[in-house]
Structure 1
Amino acid sequence: MAARLIRRFSRLLAASSSIPASTCSIPSECIRACRHHPRPLALPLHTSALCKYTDNLLALKQNGPRMNGPNEKDFLAMIQSMSSPEPLLQMSSEYSKNGNRAAAIISQIAKVTETNKAEVVNDKRFMELLSGVNKQIQMIWNVRLISLLRGLYVLGVDGKSHYLRSVETEVRWRLRKFSIELLGRLARLIVPYAQTEERKALMQDLAKSVELRWTEVKDTKTLVNVIYSLSQVSRTLLERMEDKVLEYAELFTPEESRTINMALAAQNCRSLPILRALSFHLVQRNKELGPSVIVDLAYAYAKLNFSQHQVLYKMASDLLPKVSELSGKEMTGCMRSFSTLRFFNLPFCEAIAQACLENSSSLTPTQLSSIILSFAHLNFMPSQHEEFFSMVVQRLSTELESLSPPMLVDLVWALCVLQLVTPAFLQKALEPQIYNQFMGGVNNKSSNYSLKLTQINAAAQLECPEYQGPLLPHSLLTTVTPPAAGSSLSPLQSDLRNVLRDVFPDKDTCNFSVKTVYGHHIDAEFILDSENNPLALINFTDPHVLHNNGINALPEGARRFAVKSWEYSNFCLRSKDLTGGFALCRRHLRAAGFLVVEVPFYEWQELKSERQKSAFLKDHIKKVVAEAMSA
């Protein structure tokens, strides 16, 4: 053991022979022991690697660093201070042989070049920088390589360029060496430019790499980048990221929550655990949400049909003081999203109506029509409805020609719901060149607009006596299928039908799933005489249905009843107020002469036995009769 220690001391002594005593790190006792050792060293002394390393350190201390241009920090500060491409291009002769610095210069050129990008790309000095990068592509740092790739994309370098393909190939080869944070950055920058087959293939390889290493994600920024950029490429990756989102949900900023929700909406991925977790922390956080965040969140929730009252209320409350600052596009988008979710907030809707009155000239006809449509869906009438209606007529009467046929139909239907329609609007919507585009269509969009046109036609007949025409031909009305007609029955409708069969055991006295000429579907129809006895429907004419073979008029004192069930989706969120379309249905049926027996879900679900349900229905019929007699 002693011999080995002596050997080590001898090597250290040889290494320290050229080091001044003041700078030597070897203890002086060891040096003295080696120098006064009575016996010669067993092994010859030699210069070791430690000796060479120490000599190099001494040389650096004596001569200082080699001055080959500024150091890296100063170099980055220098190029970042330049705000135009010309001085950066002039640096090509000095730095084109240094691949890392040439890549940094190209990245900075991409940041400061806003116009004339083609001239910059075709400049000889820029090509010189690219050539230098290409020669030392393997020596470029990972972070700088990703910034270089983004710079080439931003500058619009031809996708077939040898230099760009060389950078893309190098990036692909290094995917396994990149950290997970760099993979997230790469995914975020490449998404807007992934149009060619080569770039799509690079996206696929990137998604596969992240799939294998998804457990390495340790920060919210990388998680957001991965979900936003790669969820559209790999649904499997999105499912794996769900656990990560739940783990970091509390740490997300509102902007990051917005980005994740928008990514889910783009994928149409209704992940309830993610949506609930993010919305919970948005509500718990005291930080006020910005207008742009609220507009995007509302859109994502509407797209995914996620209606959580607490977060929607917070969004409306935070946006209320800033309504006057919103652009027409933001107001339109937010109102459309809230109406889709059936979320009605009276102060917010009033603020939107007031903003429309004050800034009507800044709203386009399409934006104003969209806001009116949102009001109609929520069955909201502004408190200043006379002023609001005057503004609508003044702005849109001369702009109807500029509206597309679908938007025109939506606008007139909305005015019918709000009871603000005029003969001029009805006449424009019921022109043959308009309804011929939709009536008889087989796709969902055509069916929706055919239904709205039928309801507009009903409003013209039932609620606008001064209207002179035109009206929809009766032959076209047979092609319209109201919602729920012919489709599978809901539990409420099925249960109601069974009870009605017990109340009206004679099948000729009650018809089910009736399609009316007004574009509305009713669950059941029956007739009671003056003694409240049911009559056979087949014996009497029925002008409200599409096909009827009866020839007799109703006897004196007889009344026609329509049974209408109201589902949860027929009401505004957390409210007992019907949405606009179903309020219009109830109004039209009453105007057509029906006594409407309404069965809302919140009353029906409290009834447990068949006897209770039957008694409930009979009591409702008696109540409707009493109200009709007292009117």
Structure 2
Amino acid sequence: MTTRLIGRWARLLPRCPQASAVAARLQVPVIQYPEPLWSQAWLRTSGRFLCHDRGLALEEDGSIPFKRTELEELVDQAKLAEDVLRLWEERGGSANQAARCLIRFSRLAAEKGAADKAELLQDHRLAELLETANSQVASVWNGNLVSLLRSLSSLGLPPNSVVLRSLQTEALWRLRRLTYRQLAFLVDWATILKAKGQDDEALTSAVLKQLELRWTELTDPRTVSTLMGRAPQLSPSLMDKLEDKALELAEHFSAEDIRRVALALASQGRRAVPLLRALSYHLHQKPSAELNPPLLLDIAYAFGKLNFHQTQVFQRIAAELLPNLSELNPIDVTRCAKSFAFLKWLHIPLFEGFVEHYVNNSQNYSTMQLCNLLMSLARLNFHPSKGEEFYRKVHSVLEGTLQGLEPFLKTDVIWSLCALLQVKPEYVAALSDPAFQAKLTAGSAVRTENYRLKLLHIAASAKLEPKGSLGTSAAPFTVHIPVPEAREKTPTPLQNGLNTALLSLAGGRTQALRTSVNTVYGWTIDGELVVDSENKPIDLENLTAPHLPGGGGANALPEGARRIAFVALEYPNFISRSKDLLGRFAMQKRHLQLAGFLVVEVPYFEWAELKSDWQKVAYLKDKIGKAVAEDMAK
């Protein structure tokens, strides 16, 4: 027993670096017993994992280098599909070589016309290729097997053909031996088939299960972005894991990978803020050569869909697009304008460029694209410097096409023109028909109320806006949509604080204060006071109020009295990174002023600095004094 142990130790010692000197002096004669297999396996490291195919293992190991055959080299050099068939007829080969020939053949056949492609599919040499691949499918390498599935599907083979069924069955049996990239390739192929109604549910389900079980093997950024691009096929749990992987590998993403991941998140409405921040940072670091206009437009669309704000990225997008505006088509322009409008982000030079693009290429814009551009400008309250020429072309198009628009779109466009001070009397008159207004009630109650308010805003523009060459001169119309049931709205902290401060300002007299006032113009006033000539609140219950549905009381305002409208301006009311109001709230301020109010704006960033109650009351008194002084100066 001792002799056998010493013999084993003597063989193992030279493999240990610390014992090399001892092993050199050890000269004990031992009997040479054969080394057991388990010790050899313990000392050797595995050359490949089970998920790797044979070709990949040989290529990575290096002990048996992969050599391309002469047939494969000639096939890869072929320029015509007929050349591939000729080479196979002359040389023949194994099933794996037949798969390579079929993959190359399908790529070349895709360049043919429909008639030539149909003729190639009837060639007997192609049938021989398919028969060889089908009869020896077990010998086809994993990578070729996966590629061959997609190639034959694109070639036009029916989904129930013997070859495709055989390949799908073989792929199903080999799933555990496929690499993660090959599994992702199968998902991509399955998605294309599903769009054609030819999906193999058994294979697709098995592939998705393998992807979820083996997600830790994922180390390739391109595979991550490709998989996330097929988000509708994936389960929510797998998408969560892919988001984690994407965040881990974000620094290795190319600009195209970033675009694909951003669009995948937008398509699913997954607002993964940490991942979006990482994508924004790495996109900002990319050189301009990688940031082509289509990619930038997709990024802007994805961020707009997810309502994700990143000023540096938006500025980079604008800087890259400005020199290339002439190369954009109308779809690109309106798409970008709409994305930035959703984000409430205004870049004046870029939007000036959009307006100029329309002026120079108006004949290429459809009516729908023009409507989207107008609604984007109105949302951001953007008035172009070349407005006269721009709106002249706009009206020349709308005069002939506005009547044919869908009712909801027609209302949106006219409301936008009101916000931009560019509405015409005939546009407003088109909305007065009760039958037309009845069409706006089709939909949810919230949507109906939204369009009822828009009609009230349009009617207010017709009644209040100054008359001019483009101003309105038509009689105000009546909104026939019934008033919905009152819904309880939870006031914001700013509105609560403002109401409390106004009540203190009115000396605790509720008869001198109105809050949450719904006006006939469609606007809601957060607080209303009537002050006398000394700026002190007076009772308003018995005073006339033409802005109220009932008209208020019977007494006229005293001499020197003024109506004060307090409007709480929250963060969403402003253009991003600006103190300028969005078009909706700018129109509200204008209408209330034209209706006889002195408008006191209470923005959130000023109110947040007031800590005590007396500071808030003093702030409101100061605001009232400034508003009255400005009115007297006029």
TM-score, L = length of structure 1: 0.82
Instruction: Please name the residue that 1:209 is paired with.
Output: 210
Closer, same or farther in 2 for the Cα pair 1:540/1:148, shift >3 Å?
same
- Structure 1 residue 392 and structure 2 residue 388: aligned? no
Instruction: Please name the residue that 2:30 is paired with.
Output: none
Q: Amino acid of the residue matched to residue 258 of structure 2?
A: S
- Structure 1 residue 169 and structure 2 residue 172: aligned? no
Closer, same or farther in 2 for the Cα pair 1:161/1:553, shift >3 Å?
farther
TM-superposed deviation, 1:411: 2.0
- Percent of paired sites with the same residue: 39
TM-superposed deviation, 1:415: 1.5
The CA distance in 2 between the partners of 1:467 and 1:166, in whole Å, is 72
Conserved in 1, the CA contact under 8 Å of 2:563 and 2:597? yes
Per-residue CA distance 1:97-130 (angstroms, 9 max, x = gap): 7322332233233323344256655665544433
- Structure 1 residue 476 and structure 2 residue 481: aligned? yes
Equivalent residue for 2:504, pick from 502, 505, 530: 502
Instruction: Please name the residue that 1:296 is paired with.
Output: 298
TM-superposed deviation, 1:604: 0.8
Instruction: Please name the residue that 2:64 is paired with.
Output: none
- Structure 1 residue 160 and structure 2 residue 160: aligned? yes
The CA distance in 1 between the partners of 2:328 and 2:485, in whole Å, is 39
Equivalent residue for 2:310, pick from 303, 308, 311: 308
TM-superposed deviation, 1:324: 1.0
Closer, same or farther in 2 for the Cα pair 1:534/1:252, shift >3 Å?
same
Q: Aligned to 1:397, what secondary structure does the other structure show? A: helix
Give runs of aligned pairs for residues 431-580 of structure 1, distance below 5 A.
431-439=433-441, 441-463=443-465, 465=467, 467=472, 469=474, 471-476=476-481, 478-479=483-484, 486-504=488-506, 505-547=508-550, 550-580=553-583
Per-residue CA distance 1:414-470 (angstroms, 9 max, x = gap): 211111122132233444454322147535444433332321221111115474546
The CA distance in 2 between the partners of 1:488 and 1:130, in whole Å, is 69
Per-residue CA distance 1:473-530 (angstroms, 9 max, x = gap): 244263498xxx7422222122222222222312222222222222222212222233
Closer, same or farther in 2 for the Cα pair 1:572/1:335, shift >3 Å?
same
The CA distance in 2 between the partners of 1:413 and 1:96, in whole Å, is 72
The CA distance in 1 between the partners of 2:417 and 2:369, in whole Å, is 15
The CA distance in 2 between the partners of 1:629 and 1:378, in whole Å, is 31
Closer, same or farther in 2 for the Cα pair 1:230/1:360, shift >3 Å?
closer
Per-residue CA distance 1:75-113 (angstroms, 9 max, x = gap): 334334445544445566567873223322332333233
The alignment of Structure 1 onto Structure 2 pairs a total of residues equal to 558
The CA distance in 1 between the partners of 2:318 and 2:629, in whole Å, is 42
The CA distance in 2 between the partners of 1:308 and 1:228, in whole Å, is 22
Q: Aligned to 1:381, what secondary structure does the other structure show? A: coil
TM-superposed deviation, 1:273: 0.4
Instruction: Please name the residue that 1:600 is paired with.
Output: 603
TM-superposed deviation, 1:601: 0.9
Closer, same or farther in 2 for the Cα pair 1:187/1:553, shift >3 Å?
same
Per-residue CA distance 1:5-52 (angstroms, 9 max, x = gap): xxxxxxxxxxxxxxxxxxxxxxxxxxxxxxxxxxxxxxxxxxxxxxxx
Closer, same or farther in 2 for the Cα pair 1:203/1:614, shift >3 Å?
farther
Give runs of aligned pairs for residues 131-530 of structure 1, distance below 5 A.
131-195=131-195, 196=197, 198-230=199-231, 232-288=233-289, 289-439=291-441, 441-463=443-465, 465=467, 467=472, 469=474, 471-476=476-481, 478-479=483-484, 486-504=488-506, 505-530=508-533
The CA distance in 2 between the partners of 1:123 and 1:592, in whole Å, is 82
TM-superposed deviation, 1:231: 6.4
Closer, same or farther in 2 for the Cα pair 1:73/1:536, shift >3 Å?
farther
- Per mean C-alpha deviation after superposition, the further-off stretch among 147-156 and 553-562 is 553-562
Conserved in 1, the CA contact under 8 Å of 2:193 and 2:199? no
Conserved in 1, the CA contact under 8 Å of 2:434 and 2:480? no
Conserved in 2, the CA contact under 8 Å of 1:96 and 1:132? no
Conserved in 1, the CA contact under 8 Å of 2:288 and 2:320? no
TM-superposed deviation, 1:304: 0.5
Conserved in 2, the CA contact under 8 Å of 1:336 and 1:374? yes
Q: Amino acid of the residue matched to residue 514 of structure 2?
A: N
Give runs of aligned pairs for residues 21-100 of structure 1, distance below 5 A.
72-89=68-85, 98-100=94-96
Q: Aligned to 1:457, what secondary structure does the other structure show? A: helix
Conserved in 2, the CA contact under 8 Å of 1:96 and 1:133? no
- Per mean C-alpha deviation after superposition, the further-off stretch among 354-363 and 332-341 is 354-363
The CA distance in 2 between the partners of 1:568 and 1:598, in whole Å, is 13
The CA distance in 2 between the partners of 1:190 and 1:623, in whole Å, is 68
The CA distance in 1 between the partners of 2:482 and 2:627, in whole Å, is 30
Instruction: Please name the residue that 1:46 is paired with.
Output: none
Q: Aligned to 2:158, what secondary structure does the other structure show? A: coil
TM-superposed deviation, 1:549: 5.5
TM-superposed deviation, 1:299: 0.4
Q: Amino acid of the residue matched to residue 295 of structure 1?
A: L
The CA distance in 2 between the partners of 1:209 and 1:440, in whole Å, is 46
Closer, same or farther in 2 for the Cα pair 1:552/1:475, shift >3 Å?
farther
- Considering only CA atoms, is the larger Rg found in Structure 1 or Structure 2? 1
Q: Aligned to 2:521, what secondary structure does the other structure show? A: coil
Conserved in 1, the CA contact under 8 Å of 2:437 and 2:481? no
Q: Amino acid of the residue matched to residue 604 of structure 1?
A: W
- Per mean C-alpha deviation after superposition, the further-off stretch among 330-339 and 438-447 is 438-447
Closer, same or farther in 2 for the Cα pair 1:100/1:451, shift >3 Å?
farther
Q: Aligned to 2:527, what secondary structure does the other structure show? A: strand
Closer, same or farther in 2 for the Cα pair 1:204/1:617, shift >3 Å?
farther
The CA distance in 2 between the partners of 1:474 and 1:352, in whole Å, is 35
The CA distance in 2 between the partners of 1:527 and 1:199, in whole Å, is 73
Conserved in 2, the CA contact under 8 Å of 1:477 and 1:517? no
TM-superposed deviation, 1:577: 0.5
Runs of at least 5 residues in structure 2 that lack an aligned partner in the other structure:
1-66
The CA distance in 2 between the partners of 1:531 and 1:475, in whole Å, is 42
Closer, same or farther in 2 for the Cα pair 1:556/1:95, shift >3 Å?
farther
The CA distance in 1 between the partners of 2:381 and 2:622, in whole Å, is 29
Closer, same or farther in 2 for the Cα pair 1:311/1:130, shift >3 Å?
same
Conserved in 1, the CA contact under 8 Å of 2:452 and 2:479? no
Per-residue CA distance 1:163-222 (angstroms, 9 max, x = gap): 323222222222211111222222333323224485345333222212222221222112
Closer, same or farther in 2 for the Cα pair 1:387/1:171, shift >3 Å?
same
